[in-house]
């Protein structure tokens, strides 16, 4: 019987144990702490509850619960792959042709891995109170850093010839693809309820940006680390920024 019993009570929602109650009799500090953390029963006015019930009843219609997180993430991932492939067919797959087998396996696998990760993180943002397995603050940073390091390792060419001239069209294509894929992702995304709209917007924006990066990885034949880091990953940042701006737009509740 000591203050640890009260500490344990304060850190949980369980009622006081008999030993903790015994301790309270002899410890004024613990008595005061328990009193501070015990709230009296205050209720809302009955008329207000009736008003709420009337509001709810007037628009009561059956709704279909959203599918499981896995199903929603799979839908986002399917859209991601379908969009990347269709865009690559439209714009050409010169990038795929110039990569060797090892580069293809590693580069596309890492992009796919992040697509899965961002899809899961996006779905977690859509469902209130869902278990968070990913940290939406660190995921974009981790993705950008690891993709930049991967580009440096796979394409060890750091020349700056016609850096902006070759890069700007890539950034433009990547950003357009990010915006278009973001519009498709929105079809799924809008079904959710966002308890953190900014985090949700950034995560979904980065997923859309990653679709832009995937299109460029299949399309662009320039195997230059700096080009990939600045102009390809720039599309991902553009997607994240667009997502952040979209999250600030007025929403209907």
Partner 1 sequence: MQSYQQSDSEAAAKLVNQLSPQIFQFYLAQVRDRPLAEDLLQDFWLRIHNARRTYRPGEPVLPWIYAIARRVRIDHYRRTKRWREHEMPTEDLPERAAYQHAPPATLPAMDELLKELPAAQQEVILLLKVSGLSLEEVARATGTSVGAVKQKAHRAYEKLRVAFGGNT
Residues in contact with partner 1 by the rule CB under 8 A: 3, 7, 10-13, 27-30, 32-33, 35-45, 48-49, 51-53, 55-57, 59-66, 68, 126-132, 191-196, 199, 253
CB of residue 187 to partner 1, shortest distance in Å: 15
Q: Which is nearer to partner 1, 86 or 142 (CB)?
A: 142
* Shortest separation between residue 198's beta carbon and partner 1, angstroms: 11
Whichever of 84 and 203 has its CB closer to partner 1, that residue is 203
Contact between residue 147 and residue 108 where contact means Cβ atoms under 8 Å apart: no
Whole-number minimum distance, CB 121 to partner 1, in Å? 11
Nearer to partner 1, 13 or 100 (CB): 13
Pick 127 or 176: Cβ nearer partner 1: 127
Shortest reach from residue 19's CB to partner 1, in Å: 18
């Amino acid at each position: 019987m000591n203050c640890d019993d009260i500490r344990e009570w304060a850190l949980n929602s369980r009622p006081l144990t008999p030993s903790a109650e015994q301790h309270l009799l002899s410890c004024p500090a613990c008595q005061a702490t328990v009193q501070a953390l015990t709230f009296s029963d205050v209720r809302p006015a009955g008329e207000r509850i009736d008003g709420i019930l009337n509001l709810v009843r007037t628009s009561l219609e059956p709704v279909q619960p959203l599918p499981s997180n896995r199903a929603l993430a799979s839908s986002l991932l399917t859209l991601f792959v379908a969009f990347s492939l269709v865009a690559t067919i439209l714009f050409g797959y010169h990038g795929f042709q110039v990569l060797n087998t090892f580069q293809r396996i590693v580069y596309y696998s890492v992009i796919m891995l992040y697509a899965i990760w961002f899809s899961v993180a996006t779905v977690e943002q859509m469902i209130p109170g869902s278990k968070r397995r990913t940290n939406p603050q660190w995921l974009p940073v981790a993705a950008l850093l690891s993709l930049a390091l991967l580009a440096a390792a796979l394409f060890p060419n750091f020349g700056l010839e016609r850096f902006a001239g070759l890069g700007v069209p890539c950034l433009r294509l990547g950003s357009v693809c990010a915006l278009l894929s973001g519009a498709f992702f929105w079809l799924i995304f809008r079904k959710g309820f966002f308890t953190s709209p900014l985090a949700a917007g950034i995560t979904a924006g980065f997923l859309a940006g990653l679709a832009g990066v995937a299109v460029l990885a299949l399309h662009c034949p320039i195997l230059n680390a700096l080009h990939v880091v600045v102009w390809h990953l720039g599309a991902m940042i553009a997607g994240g920024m667009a997502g952040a701006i979209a999250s600030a737009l007025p929403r209907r509740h």
